[in-house]
Chain A
Amino acid sequence: MTARLLLNIMQVLVVMLFSPLLKGVISRLKAIIQSKRGPSIWQPYYDLYKLFRKDEVISTDASWIFRAAPLVSFAVPLLVTLLIPVLTGFPLTWAFMGDMLGGGFILSLGGFFATLAAMDTASPYGQMGSSRTRMVSFLAEPVLMCVFFVVSLVAGATIPYIVNHAWYMGGKSVIYPSHVLVVIAFFMVILAETGRIPVDNPDGHFELAMIDESKSLEYSGKGFALIKWGGYMKLFVLMTIFMNVLVTPWGLATAVTAPALTLAVLSLLLKMLAGAVLIVIIESTLAKLRLFRVAEFLGMAFVISLLGLITYFIGV
């Protein structure tokens, strides 16, 4: 019992510590592809360190929501971490607290608070950004639903640990037509939800074109650091679900021993590196879509996931 509790905490720590690294690696790889040298992969850590030491400026008209939002968006990915297999293949203490749908709800709670906070200061850019974020995420919702349907049909459950187990131990094949379609649709949703390139430009600093970034425009100091870190963790958590539950359910620790856990951390980092390379390839070859083309991108994801569902039912 205590061992499982400790492991749960360790999973949270791994997500907290390594998520800025993922971001740093992505930026560095992107710079290398653009034949620049790029910032060090530790740059996000320096940024966070700097921001945590800075003073915070908050508008006198801002309400408690503005102060609470950074904490919520920091805490939400950590809560989801409790539900998903990050390091271990066996369920941990809070594994049955919620399923994939629950995780989706928790993540959208973070988005909800960020939206409220962006509207709280009445900055026009914040409001524009929050309405755009809402548009993207409500278009992403049906895709997620279809993905969860297929996953739950195949694995017989929506608890991430059980799904992972079904693919890892239960002899269910990962190479399956419906599975391939669902994986692709889910990846498109991850790109949309974390504000990566075909939907939003994470490096853009032009306020009128921002979608995800504009929500944190009003923040400074510690609040900004928390929001940034929360964003890194959200990407890390979604990539973990993508890799550990859907694409590569192997390489998780099956025993509570130090070497097994070290191996699990290493394999997780390797998977994240593979994910980072995939994201970098996509970001370097595609251009950002115009805002109203986002509906086309996510519509495509929806049709793909729907086909996955139908393919499963036809039994192909």
Chain B
Amino acid sequence: MLYATALKLLGVLGALLLLETLFMLAVRQMRGIIRLYAIHSLLLAISAAVVGYVTGMYHLYLVAGLTLLFKVLAIPYSLERVIHDTILEKREIHFVFGVPGSLLIGGLLCLLAYFTSIRLVYPGDTLARLLLSVGAAVALLGLFIMVGRQEAVPQISGLLIMENGVILIAVVTAFGLPLIAEFGLFLDVLVGALLLGVLVMRLQRHNETTAVGMLRRLKG
């Protein structure tokens, strides 16, 4: 009974993750993007914990805890601290395709992810059927967020979202990586996010804008 409820919960969590990613596709405020990323990671952490409960792989609880620590708290906090207010306060972000266009493309990407990943699933594998397609869709949408924005901060968030999708795929198919690799991965992401934040700051100081879509050539 509890097992079946947990599986249902996983389905709903998958739907919410997808929803959250779509919201990130449409949001225009930079601070909003970082907050949404925190919620996204929270959903990922809960999913990992539930998968851990369903499969009895208890080290997934640790993955959930690490996600909570690094991606819900540390990365959003440090991004907000590192990136100066002048960048975050700017409210409008330029979209390459416009919001309705991005949403439609996002929907198509979800379809692509669904129809390809459903073929990869072993027939009896309920867990993978529930979440593999969601993970693939989240990764593709993250890639699209990176491509479709002309601002540095949303591009960072796109990268982080993509990474979340990959983690979700790893959790549902391979039940996570070995613990030591997991630690390395989380530290990598943290350091990567921090470095990107610093780069954005340098960009701002150098060019007085972070609209990287406007950059045409490299300067010395």
In the complex the two chains form, is B18's CB within 8 Å of A299's CB?
Answer: no
CB proximity to A under 8 Å, residues B100-148: 100, 103-104, 106-107, 110-111, 114-115, 118, 129-130, 133
> Could you give, for residues 1-27 of chain B, a 1 whenever the CB lies within 8 Å of some chain A CB and a 0 otherwise?
000000011011011101100110010
A316 CA to B11 CA, complexed, in Å? 7
In the complex the two chains form, is A173's CB within 8 Å of B103's CB?
Answer: no
Check: A169 CB closer than 8 A to any chain B CB: no
* Chain B residue at smallest Cβ distance from A301: B103
* Chain A residue at smallest Cβ distance from B8: A175
- CB contacts between A and B, total, < 8 Å: 64
Check: B198 CB closer than 8 A to any chain A CB: no
In the complex the two chains form, is A316's CB within 8 Å of B14's CB?
Answer: yes
In the complex the two chains form, is B130's CB within 8 Å of A316's CB?
Answer: yes
In the complex the two chains form, is B14's CB within 8 Å of A177's CB?
Answer: yes
Q: Collect the chain A residues with CB atoms within 8 Å of residue B111's CB.
A: 310
In the complex the two chains form, is A299's CB within 8 Å of B103's CB?
Answer: yes
Check: A296 CB closer than 8 A to any chain B CB: yes
CB distance from A179 to the nearest CB of B (A): 9
* Chain A residue at smallest Cβ distance from B4: A173
Classify the interface of chain B: helix, strand, loop or mixed: helix
In the complex the two chains form, is B104's CB within 8 Å of A303's CB?
Answer: yes
Give the size range of A's interface with the partner: 20 to 34
CB distance from A140 to the nearest CB of B (A): 14
In the complex the two chains form, is B107's CB within 8 Å of A306's CB?
Answer: yes
Q: Collect the chain A residues with CB atoms within 8 Å of residue B18's CB.
A: 181, 307
Check: B99 CB closer than 8 A to any chain A CB: yes
In the complex the two chains form, is A181's CB within 8 Å of B19's CB?
Answer: yes
A112 CA to B100 CA, complexed, in Å? 26
Q: Collect the chain B residues with CB atoms within 8 Å of residue A303's CB.
A: 22, 103-104, 106-107
Taking A180-B16, A181-B15, A296-B100 as known contacts, 9 extra A-B pairs with beta carbons closer than 8 A to each other, sorted by chain A number, are A175-B9, A176-B8, A177-B15, A296-B103, A299-B104, A303-B103, A306-B107, A314-B133, A316-B14
